[in-house]
A and B are shown apart, each in its own frame.
Chain A
């Protein structure tokens, strides 16, 4: 296993907004197993550029077949707004489409809170600057209850401290994120700069593979 550093790691691309502390109201979506086909249906994956995906976020839950808004869906309810989406357990299951994370970002969310995330969706979020915050099932229930009781209630996500706080009561939890990804999000870096900086090491490695 190679672990020697090969020179200075060059990281200079601002891949997305820096994320440090986010204070915002939240939008509750207390449904379990929300899959990426709900977040963005496949028929809206035909773009060749990363633009406009927010318009089709939760398309079939948000709009009727005739494109009129469904009144009972939370994104069409002006009571709720904010940069934090609070979803039910197992958020983002299914397809690997990064378009789902793009749609969440493009709509204006910077953070998704859930008691459990599907792996690929979580990875995709971290790669594009949406912070996935996994909380306990109990804390998720508290957040849902607090937002529904008072839609103006605010949450604070503190990435450097790795905490999420219900500001009205001060109740908080810590959340996990790898040191590497945390550093990337705080600074707005992405992985390609890192990988580019170790290219020689990668090429040497490739020359010695069994296949």
Chain B
């Protein structure tokens, strides 16, 4: 029978099917961080269970970590305690632990691929919804709750009903200043924040085929923002070239065996999806969000739509615009910007910093803007320095912070104050996400750069054209 890429990877990992219930799914690689793992370890302790395959779990500290002065003790006692718990639990159960200051430390979804933990055709889970990132490699990767973290630690399996399948095709050539982030925000704006709930998405078409691994990770990362459990892209030469030779990638004979498996990982020509959607690359502009969920996005040159033209209740829509301090019909161009945040598992990779730097080069940070540039990992940080980007950034009035999740969810001190506006390359514009009362506009690194140098929301194409 014809199968989709998703079917192939899923079916390969089903240990057992339960009648009238979920599948028992084997998990190849498990990533953990400090926030969603401590209660899972407590569960193991109270049941007296060991970790079944400690070599399949990898721990990194990221959500709580400060992004300055990482050599000093963590000031917040609650954060320090949670970070300590991750270290203690990892050591006790024999799990690789990449804590603060460790060379491999960074955001879990940035370091996983960097070190080859992420492999095509693997099943990967983490107690974090943006685990969907790893689908960029043709893996089935999704976020799980803490009860499931405990299941994976104890048995390397979770129990999941098989989701429905959706394919999203985007074909054509992306326009000037249009990045993978814009492609994702465009798709989410079309599907809404719940439009892919119950589905696992495969992205197909030449737009994705021509994307770098970094770009594919940005797209797959945001799958959860339209409700999909995950998204994936069939592995190709780009994928294999990225994976080959990384520390935890298979080597020697194991690599040959893996390569043979990777080559089977594509959707059969006549395989059927439960839902299929197609978009044109030419219709996508640089995007920005104006509301309080990632589905509330639009081309940056558009005006905020009327309640009558959006799906859902008018009351919810009005509440959202009130929170943002925006009105129906407003143009986003020229809106106030107080903070710019570049980073997160969505856009904290080297390509994102290259894009940001390309636009701010030779310009200067606007005085009214506080900019937080937070690399996703030490590897990204080192690359920024090696490529000479840091010098350009410094000259333009920007500094670099240390790796971590930072202002994406504001669990550390990187909080946008109440009422202030932030253009952020992260993934969620929910109320209070970047700090209580903070107002977030999601966008690409290029849109963030344009805002950072002009001090207001600006179409980056106007600045790129200046450069050309």
Interface positions of A (Cβ within 8 A of B): 1-3, 13, 30-33, 35, 37-38, 41-43, 45-50, 60, 65, 88-90, 93-99, 101, 116-120, 123-124, 127-128, 178-181, 190-192, 194-196, 198-199, 201-203, 205-206, 209-211
Contacts and interface: CB of A to CB of B under 8 A. Distances in A.
Contacts of B428: 35, 37, 94-95
B250 interface: yes
Contacts of A43: 410-411, 436
Interface residues of B, number: 85
Closest 3 interchain pairs by CB? A180-B21, A179-B20, A96-B143
B271 interface: no
A124 B313 CA distance: 27
Interface stretch (B77-85, B167-175, B213-221, B380-388): B77-85
A196 B155 contact: yes
A127 B193 contact: no
Given A179-B21, A180-B21, A46 B78 contact: yes
Contacts of B63: 42, 45
Contacts of B22: 178, 180-181
Contacts of B49: 192, 196
Nearest to A123: B145
Given A88-B313, A96-B128, A201-B16, A211 B155 contact: no
A37 B129 contact: no
Contacts of A50: 39, 42
Given A120-B229, A211-B261, 13 more contacts: A42-B411, A45-B35, A46-B64, A46-B79, A48-B42, A95-B129, A98-B36, A98-B127, A180-B20, A192-B154, A199-B155, A202-B52, A209-B13
Interface centre among A48, A117, A180, A201 (most CB of B within 10 A): A48
A191 B25 CA distance: 12
26 contacts: A2-B15, A2-B16, A32-B316, A37-B433, A42-B411, A43-B410, A46-B411, A49-B38, A50-B39, A60-B431, A95-B143, A97-B145, A98-B145, A116-B194, A118-B194, A119-B198, A124-B146, A124-B147, A191-B158, A191-B159, A209-B12, A210-B261, A211-B28, A211-B122, A211-B250, A211-B258
Given A118-B197, A119-B197, A33 B312 contact: yes
B127 A96 contact: yes
Contact of B257 (A31, A65, A95, A210): A210
B415 to A, nearest CB: 8
A16 B31 CA distance: 27
A49 B39 contact: yes
A195 B14 contact: no
Contacts of B432: 37-38, 41, 60
B193 A178 contact: no
A211 B138 CA distance: 13
Contacts of A31: 315-316, 319
Interface string B22-49: 1010101000000110110011000101
Contact of B229 (A30, A46, A119, A128): A119
A45 B411 contact: yes
B47 A101 contact: no
Contacts of B81: 46, 48
